[in-house]
Amino acid sequence: MPAPRTPLRTLAVCLAFTAACAQPAPPAETPAAPAHDSAMDMHHLHGLMSHGLEMALEGATLQMLGQMNMAGAVDKTAVDHGTAMLSEGRGLINSAIAGPAMMAMHTTSANDPLMLYTHDLAKTMGTVLDHLQTMPAPDAKNQKDMALHHMHIALVHAALMASQGASLKMAASMKMSEAVDTEASTHASAMFQHARGLYSETINGDAMKAAHAADAAGDGMTATHNLGESVNALIESLAKMP
């Protein structure tokens, strides 16, 4: 039979209980921070580059539309705005590839295949924009000039489709919505296929054969083929987007 509690013993028990309750709870373990995903950094950088490219391509289309001299003052607006978009889109690509974010990535991933791909992609984009920015304005009254001019617009559209396809492919690769990702990936593949088809028809089709028959070696023809080659390289580079 337990001994009866005396007042002193009861007081000691109460004090011990109070002291135990006053002890701070052990600190909860802080969950480890997730490892930094450098591939996702590059992924977002590609998105920024694609936006710059699309902005520049849309600007080039506006510029070429205005160069047809079919709508008076509207043509000047189209040329001015298109020229600005082409320049600013290119600036965005340059900023992405040489800015602080890229410099930080270089400290850990300078020789990573994804880094090398990114720099190659930027060069390929730049080559297309070089050709567009130096393309002479056509003589709107010259049928041969206008035929080549329309081919330039078609080539720009092929490049634009490929860039949009790459953006869809990148979104699908995040694997955040299975059903939508599958559809985005499928549509991206179709856009690359259509871009290749438009490029091929423009460079090898009946319109080009007729232009060659009229003038196979002129400066305009050379510029058109140079643009076509750069667009073809761009399409294939974008199709390899991780």
Q: 100-114: per-residue pLDDT in tens?
A: 988 888 887 767 888
Quote the pLDDT of residue 35: 52
- The pLDDT assigned to 21 comes to 52
What would the pLDDT profile of 43-89 be if each residue is shown by its tens digit? 889 999 999 999 999 999 999 999 999 999 999 999 999 999 999 99
What is the count of structural domains for the chain? Answer: 1
Token pair for residue 213? 């028959």
Asked if residue 196 belongs to a domain, the reply is: yes
Does residue 15 fall inside a structural domain? no
Residue 191: inside a domain, yes or no?
yes
Q: Tell me the CA end-to-end span of the chain in Å, nearest whole number.
A: 79
pTM of this structure: 0.82
Q: What is the pLDDT of residues 176-216, one digit of tens each?
A: 888 898 999 999 999 999 999 999 999 999 999 998 887 76
Q: How many CB atoms lie within 10 A of CB 149?
A: 23
Q: What is the pLDDT of residues 8-52, one digit of tens each?
A: 555 555 555 555 555 555 566 665 545 556 677 888 899 999 999
Residue 197 lies in a domain: yes
Residue 117 lies in a domain: yes
Domain extent, residue 208, equals 39-239
Domain membership of residue 14 (yes or no) is no
Task: Please check whether residue 2 lies inside any domain of the structure.
Answer: no
Task: Classify residue 175 by its DSSP letter.
Answer: -
* 6 Rama sector, left if φ>0, alpha if ψ -120 to 50, beta otherwise: beta
Q: Name the H helices within the chain.
A: 7-22, 38-66, 73-98, 100-109, 113-134, 143-173, 178-204, 206-214, 219-239
Task: Tell me, yes or no, whether 111 lies in a domain.
Answer: yes
pLDDT value of position 199: 98
Residue 242 has a pLDDT of: 84
